[in-house]
Amino acid sequence: MSVNPFDLRTVLLAKHAQHVVLIHFPIALFTAAVAFDYFGQSAKSRTLAAAAYFNLLLAAVSIVPVVSTGLAAWRWALEGQKLKGMLLMHLVLGCISSALIWLVFWIHLRSRRHPEVPLPKYRLPIEALAVLIVGLTGHLGGFLSGVNGPG
Amino acid sequence: MRRSVSIAVLLATLGLGIAGLGAGTRNFAASAQQKLQTLEVKIDNFSFGPMELTVPVGTTVTWTNRDDIPHTVVSTDKVFKSQVLDTDEKFSFTFSKAGTYPYFCSIHPKMTGKVVVQ
């Protein structure tokens, strides 16, 4: 059966494959945001800080469909059965990653709303930890989807 | 007298031979039936092996996950459905009706297989 990649149904009816596609957006945006923030911090550049903020904003927004499609895959593809092993670890780490991305975004948002308050330095280790956990979650996701495996 | 003893011995030997042959046939049939009753499908390297299986009615098929990745075995027609199978976990289903049973892994929908029950 041939599939037309430009047929809207192939996008909308892809079921949990959408999770696998959408996950790349927050990973890329958040990693770029953290890189901009670190460079902005060391170069004391407001432009890089702004770039970090907008990347974080988009990462935080794009997390919503990613979490939704991941939970939908659990609900529909696996019919909500009790998860274990790698799938459970992926779910837990995914939730922690999402919370950390939202936390980092909230820290930046709060500072942006109150320009007199500088960005706290403690955000930097949180961002580093978040990148690490996002990477680990993505690694497990890659294994589960078969991208990192022999298949 | 000697002749009748010879005939008796011959008949007894023949009878034992026929009985032994019958028992052997029964054993062979039982063994073949046993072999047909349980068949294994291995899940490895993101594929079902064998991909297509033809079995008689009443056969139990056991799927074993030999992969490092969790998989499921789900009938396309919702006839059977496994839990998530981690490495070395098994799922069995007995096919009591003839027909074609396509199935797939719900985590990796491109992994497909088929059981033909005759």
Domain with residue B78: its CATH number is 2.60.40.420
CA dist A107 and A122 (Å) reads 10
CA dist A96 and A130 (Å) reads 8
Is A83 contained in some domain?
Answer: yes
Helix axes A123-145, A85-113, angle to 10 degrees: 150
pTM metric for this prediction: 0.76
Is B62 contained in some domain?
Answer: yes
pLDDT in tens, B65-108: 999 999 999 999 999 999 999 999 999 999 999 999 999 998 89
Of the candidates B72, B86, B106, the beta carbon closest to that of A85 is on B86
In this prediction, residue A130 carries a pLDDT of 98
pLDDT in tens, A32-86: 999 999 999 999 999 999 999 999 999 999 999 999 999 988 988 888 889 989 9
Is A35 contained in some domain?
Answer: yes
Beta bridge partners of B100: B116
In this prediction, residue A76 carries a pLDDT of 84
Question: Which residues, at least 6 apart from A138, have a Cβ–Cβ distance to it below 8 Å?
Answer: A23, A27
Is A6 contained in some domain?
Answer: no
Name the residue range of residue B86's domain.
Answer: 37-117
Nearest-CA distance B36 → chain A (Å):
31
Is B8 contained in some domain?
Answer: no
Q: How many domains, chain B? A: 1
pLDDT tops 90 at residue B24: no
CA dist A84 and A120 (Å) reads 38
- By the 8 A CB rule, do B68 and B45 touch? no
One-character DSSP codes across B72-103: --EETTSS-B---B-TT-EEEEE--S-EEEEE
Substitution target in B107, B111, B112 with the highest count of A β-carbons within 10 Å is B107
- By the 8 A CB rule, do B6 and B28 touch? no
CA dist B74 and A126 (Å) reads 41
Is A45 contained in some domain?
Answer: yes
The DSSP element (H or E) to which B1 belongs, if any, is none
Name the residue range of residue A106's domain.
Answer: 16-145
| Max CA distance (Å), chain A | 61
Is A1 contained in some domain?
Answer: no
Residue B82 CB neighbour total at 10 angstroms: 21
Higher pLDDT residue, B56 or B13? B56
For A73-128, list the strands marked E by DSSP.
none
Question: Pairing relation of β-strands B112-117 and B52-55?
Answer: parallel
Nearest-CA distance B105 → chain A (Å):
9
Report yes or no: B86 at the A interface, CB cutoff 8 Å: yes
In this prediction, residue B101 carries a pLDDT of 97
pLDDT in tens, B67-78: 999 999 999 999
**What ipTM did this prediction achieve?**
0.73
pLDDT tops 90 at residue B110: no
Residue A126 in tokens: 């949180």
Three-state DSSP at B39 gives strand
Confidence band of B9 (pLDDT split at 50, 70, 90):
low
Query: Per the CB < 8 Å rule, is A79 touching B86?
Result: no
Is B109 contained in some domain?
Answer: yes
Substitution target in B44, B72, B104, B106 with the highest count of A β-carbons within 10 Å is B106
Q: How many domains, chain A? A: 1
Q: Which of A79-83, B10-14, B34-38 has the lowest mean pLDDT?
A: B10-14
Question: Pairing relation of β-strands B99-104 and B74-75?
Answer: antiparallel
Is A9 contained in some domain?
Answer: no
Is B63 contained in some domain?
Answer: yes
Of the candidates B46, B106, B109, the beta carbon closest to that of A151 is on B46
Q: What is the mean pLDDT of chain B?
A: 80
- By the 8 A CB rule, do B58 and B37 touch? yes
Residue of B nearest to A144 (CA): B69
pLDDT in tens, A8-38: 666 666 655 789 999 999 999 999 999 999 9
- By the 8 A CB rule, do B87 and B43 touch? no
Instruction: Identify all chain B residues contacting A78, using CB atoms and an 8 Å cutoff.
Output: 72, 84, 106-107
Is B44 contained in some domain?
Answer: yes
Is B79 contained in some domain?
Answer: yes
Higher pLDDT residue, A6 or A72? A72
In this prediction, residue A9 carries a pLDDT of 67
In this prediction, residue A18 carries a pLDDT of 85
Three-state DSSP at B47 gives strand
pLDDT in tens, A88-147: 999 999 999 999 999 999 999 999 998 888 899 999 999 999 999 999 999 999 989 877
Is B73 contained in some domain?
Answer: yes
Report yes or no: B81 at the A interface, CB cutoff 8 Å: yes
B90-94: strand order across its sheet: B47-49, B38-44, B60-65, B90-94
Is A8 contained in some domain?
Answer: no
